């Protein structure tokens, strides 16, 4: 399983899609209601204030560091990694148990190389897709690299939701790895 990295380009593409969508809606409104020039300028300024300005702030990458993990976000898209002191062969079982403890993430696919998690619709979001890859670091340590993206490609804002999806996964796996590690010793 291969992951597309979260970059400023993916957030910029969402901003461009958002602007094109809003321009299409504006053109349809103009066609239906036959607005004058003043109305067009007011709607265009509102479009600028509501979509474009917050969109530029979403393009700035931000990093959150947890105890064992690091998450970098651009807009509503996040990417992170967690290193745990367990062999990669044990990691799928830990991911499965971590996802089973919470109602929010729904584990959709899991194998020895990685998997997919789906986060459902909320009041302010159409949901998210979390994809992850399991990689060995050494004989006794492994790493999870994951991305979280909104289901709706137009979604620009939602960094907290996206980071929350990854940190929920990472904290759960780290907790399960700690339990496994302490029960063995």
Digit-by-digit pLDDT tens for the chain (185 residues) are 556 667 677 777 777 877 787 778 777 877 777 777 677 777 777 777 777 777 777 677 778 887 888 898 887 788 999 999 999 899 999 988 888 887 677 888 888 888 998 888 777 777 888 999 999 999 889 999 999 888 877 676 666 788 888 888 899 899 988 887 666 54
DSSP string, the chain: ---PPP-HHHHHHHHHHHHHHHHHHHHHHHHHH---HHHHHHHHHHHIIIIIHHHHHHTS-EEEE-SSEEEEEETTEEEEEEEESS-TTTHHHHHHHHHHT-SSEEEEEE-SSEEEEEE--BTTBS-EEEEEEEEESSSS-EEEEEEEEESSTT----HHHHHHHHHHHHHHHHHHHHHHHHHH-
The pLDDT assigned to 104 comes to 73
The pLDDT assigned to 1 comes to 53
Residue 58: Cβ-neighbour burial (10 angstroms; 0-12, 13-18, 19+): buried
The pLDDT assigned to 153 comes to 73
Domain with residue 6: its CATH number is: 3.30.530
Reduced 3-state DSSP string for 78-118: EEEEEEECCCCCCHHHHHHHHHHCCCCEEEEEECCCEEEEE
Place of tokens 């745990």: 84
**Cα separation of 49 and 40, whole Å?**
14
- Sequence-distant (6+) residues with CB within 8 A of 140 are 85, 86, 87
**Cα separation of 18 and 16, whole Å?**
5
Note down the domain range covering 75. Answer: 1-185
The pLDDT assigned to 61 comes to 78
Query: Domain count of the chain?
Result: 1
The two tokens of residue 67 are 């105890």
The pLDDT assigned to 111 comes to 86
CA-nearest of 155, 95, 168, 147 to 127 is 155
The pLDDT assigned to 156 comes to 67
The pLDDT assigned to 83 comes to 92
């Amino acid at each position: 399983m291969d992951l597309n990295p979260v970059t400023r380009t993916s957030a910029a593409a969402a901003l461009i899609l958002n602007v094109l969508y809003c321009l299409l809606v504006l053109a349809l409104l103009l066609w239906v209601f036959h607005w004058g020039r003043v109305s067009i300028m007011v709607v265009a300024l509102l479009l600028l204030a509501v979509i474009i300005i917050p969109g530029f702030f979403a393009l700035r990458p931000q990093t959150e560091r947890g105890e064992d993990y690091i998450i970098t976000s651009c807009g509503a898209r996040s990417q992170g990694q967690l290193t745990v002191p367990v062999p990669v062969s044990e990691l799928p079982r830990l991911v499965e148990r971590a996802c089973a403890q919470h109602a929010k993430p729904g584990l959709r696919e899991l194998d020895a190389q990685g998997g997919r998690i789906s986060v459902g619709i909320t009041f302010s979001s159409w949901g998210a897709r979390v994809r992850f890859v399991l990689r060995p670091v050494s004989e006794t340590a492994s790493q999870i690299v994951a991305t979280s993206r909104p289901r709706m490609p137009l979604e620009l804002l939602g960094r907290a939701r996206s980071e929350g999806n990854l940190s929920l996964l990472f904290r759960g796996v780290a907790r399960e790895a700690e339990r496994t590690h302490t029960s063995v010793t």
